[in-house]
A and B are shown apart, each in its own frame.
Chain A
């Protein structure tokens, strides 16, 4: 690594950070107003979220060749790489940013033009499009020195990261997590994941150019656990009625727990978010001003229609008080044991909701419906996410028939606007909300 590269990195990051700080201060001086009369005021912390996320991507812009870079899947055991000093890129988060900024389709088209089918996951197409063309709303994505794919969120990532490995000529570390069909993973599956984690260390060390220090790994695992616990607490504050922070807000506020898990700054951020949410409860500030109904959201968000969804529901006094998706980033916190970081990671990373059965997801939804006193469920049937979506038709039927919970299956795609029919979605939502309204 040259002194020039280090200087470029430090100068670029320092200037960028200063600019982002200024931007944040301006936003704090003139806080944004509610996007709708039906919704509560935006979170005070929102400018800081923006700054934190932007700072992360800013570092990426200057990372090559100053820092070793790893591209990882969202459910990957990132603690190992963090402890080795890698700068970590989450292509799924990047794709979500593209979706929110409504540039995903234009970037995905770059992959489609190279032969990648529109039937493939829209995150993958967005990411591959960005890798092929360099197009990105975050400035520049650093080239990976290492790819880490963990199959605990889907098998798609295996196929996707094989393409990335081919494109970048970077080594691919695979952590294969056998799908958990029943209540518990069999011991040989846990042992298999633990061994893969242990076996990953030498390659990661070689690329990082340094040895893994146990104390560093324990420290990062501890930070991951703390941040996940705080995030869970933030979400659990929605047991309060009215809910202080909607799932729509959670979709935005979850960025740090995904892409900055294991950093001290993430722990501080969620501690502050929790404080603000508590203040909102104390001051009677609600996510939806006249909350009448509370719903659960299942599956990934529709990134390019977050505002539409929030306002449409808010106008009817409906708040999305919980989401299986945001919940997934907090519910595993108890499994993380910083004193046994690899051993506990084997269990933690086997048990995300997406690596568990369709029946388990139904149980989770029912438990959340009770915990958060919910009146119904919207199941986003996400064309791009088969592991999350398969089973939803049976889950919906069980929710309605066996548990008396109104449930709506809403067809869309998390990133591809071409798969979203707003007229159809609006009329289905309207019919569902009317039905909710008519219930005693």
Chain B
């Protein structure tokens, strides 16, 4: 997609084709947290699968009950429809009961052509969590060795980590400076979410172009902060622009909750663990609700958001459990909130748009 003044961002298909034709492999990676640098060290380009939204969900319906969230239902449908045939491995991080079920069903029953690699990040930031994650990453390294036949050196790993940390740094800057980039919401997320499939160094180069342009005046829409899993289905971001809202910050699981800080440890596995566990508060990593609340308040203040919109997915327990406490806390901090619920398989319902419009009128 061409962005004003930045040029084109290659599409997923283009990137995958180019990487494959250069002899590389593709790792289809499900939400939420995964060690990109480790995969790259084995020549596998991580390409993330958040849903995706436009899938024939009847494929997944043969395996999943209707009360499973659309991220998982769509992902399984996508696998079954052949959408991930291009992938060489499927990486399924554990983040909730539904993603756990997805990984297990893939391994035990669906048994796709590709190797399925589960990955369990810990639910805390205690010393035992760091040690466990370091060991879990080493175990994943061993499995990747068996799958690819490669044994990347420590130096290769460290190079990869440096590239990923640089991309994370640039992504964080993009988030911080988003209001002066001259991008509308759809353009901003096209750029920011290209981190989900571009090689880190390519993403960094493109994002730097956006950052190096002279700042432009902030958009005039009402500034809001969005929290949720993923800004899908298609059309939601355009809808925000249309109704006069400007997303000035986000706490999306696919986006603002993955602004990882660089690690410091000389051991590459330990350093990757530091990065993954150092990200912003996230219920699927066990962060206390109070930490999430503090971050949302700070983010709102810093970005000038006039209100917070919780954009939740139906049946998403990690989000739904925190919602009342977060809304109550934000309200007490003088930040109005609203909550809308969507399903990736459906378009953006009229009712949701009306609700958002009403909220904007209220905070205007």
Contact = CB atoms under 8 A, between A and B. Distances in A.
A359 B109 contact: yes
Contact of A163 (B64, B67, B100, B325): B325
Interface in A389-421: 389-394, 398, 411
A146 to B, nearest CB: 15
Contacts of A181: 103-104, 107, 118
Given A159-B283, A178-B120, A357 B107 contact: yes
Contacts of B173: none
B18 interface: no
Contacts of A155: 95-97, 100, 284, 317-318
Given A116-B324, A156-B317, A162 B109 contact: no
Contacts of A120: 317, 320-321
A176 B327 contact: no
Contacts of B289: 162-163, 165-166
Interface in A175-193: 176, 178-179, 181-182, 186, 188-189, 191-192
A165 B327 CA distance: 17
Contacts of B321: 116, 120, 124, 156, 159-160, 162-163
A204 to B, nearest CB: 15
A199 interface: yes
Nearest to B315: A119
A387 B101 contact: yes
B63 A162 contact: no
B25 interface: no
Contact of B122 (A114, A159, A176, A398): A176
Interface in B293-337: 314-315, 317-318, 320-325, 327-328
A186 B119 CA distance: 12
A393 B324 contact: no
B68 A394 contact: no
Contacts of A192: 122, 128, 131-132, 135
A224 to B, nearest CB: 24
Contact of A119 (B67, B129, B131): B67
Interface in A224-274: none
A163 B136 CA distance: 28
A interface, size bucket: 35 or more
A117 B323 contact: yes
A150 to B, nearest CB: 11
A174 B283 CA distance: 13
B139 interface: yes
A106 B131 CA distance: 44
B185 interface: no
A283 B216 CA distance: 89
B315 A393 contact: no
A64 interface: no
A162 B292 CA distance: 11
A191 B102 CA distance: 26
Interface string B114-127: 00001010111010
B10 to A, nearest CB: 34
Contact of B123 (A117, A121, A158, A398): A158
Contacts of B318: 155, 159
B109 A358 contact: yes
B38 to A, nearest CB: 16
Contacts of B131: 192, 195
B13 to A, nearest CB: 31
Contacts of B324: 114-116
B165 to A, nearest CB: 25
B135 A386 contact: no
B288 interface: yes
A174 B123 contact: yes
Contacts of B97: 154-156, 386-387, 390
Contacts of B290: 166
Interface string B270-293: 000000000000011010111000
B107 A359 contact: yes
B205 interface: no
A357 B320 contact: no
Interface in A118-170: 119-121, 124, 151, 154-156, 158-160, 162-163, 165-166
A383 interface: yes
Contacts of A348: none
A117 to B, nearest CB: 4
Interface in A424-440: none
Interface string A360-397: 00100000000000000000010100110111111000
Contact of A174 (B67, B96, B286): B286
Interface in B86-120: 94-98, 100-105, 107-109, 118, 120
B220 interface: no
Most buried by B among A160, A172, A189, A411: A189
A391 B104 contact: yes
B62 interface: yes
A121 B321 CA distance: 10
Which of the listed residues A119, A120, A172 has the most CB atoms from chain B within 10 Å of its own CB? A119
Most A-side CB within 10 Å, residue of B97, B124, B286, B325: B97
B320 A386 contact: no
B65 A158 contact: no
A239 B94 CA distance: 38
A196 interface: yes
Contact of B104 (A114, A165, A174, A358): A358
Contacts of A362: 108
Contacts of A383: 65, 67
Contacts of A119: 67, 314-315, 317, 320
A390 B73 CA distance: 11
A26 B118 CA distance: 56
A188 B139 contact: yes
A188 B132 contact: yes
Contacts of A182: 107
Contacts of A162: 283, 286, 288-289, 321-322
Nearest to B329: A166
Nearest to B95: A155
Contacts of A124: 321
B65, B107, B139, B288 interface centre (most CB from chain A within 10 Å): B65
Which residue, A116, A155, A156, A358, has most C-beta atoms of chain B within 10 A?
A155
B64 A390 contact: yes
Contact of B317 (A159, A195, A381): A159
Contacts of A357: 104, 107-108
Interface in B5-62: 62
Nearest to A419: B67
B192 to A, nearest CB: 27
11 contacts: A116-B320, A174-B124, A174-B286, A189-B136, A195-B131, A199-B128, A358-B101, A358-B108, A359-B109, A390-B64, A391-B105
Given A155-B317, A386-B98, 18 more contacts: A119-B67, A158-B123, A159-B318, A162-B288, A176-B122, A176-B124, A178-B136, A188-B136, A189-B136, A196-B126, A358-B104, A359-B104, A381-B65, A386-B317, A390-B102, A390-B104, A391-B104, A398-B109
- Sorted nearest first, the 8 A-B pairs with minimum C-beta distance are A390-B101, A359-B108, A115-B324, A188-B135, A159-B321, A192-B132, A394-B109, A178-B120
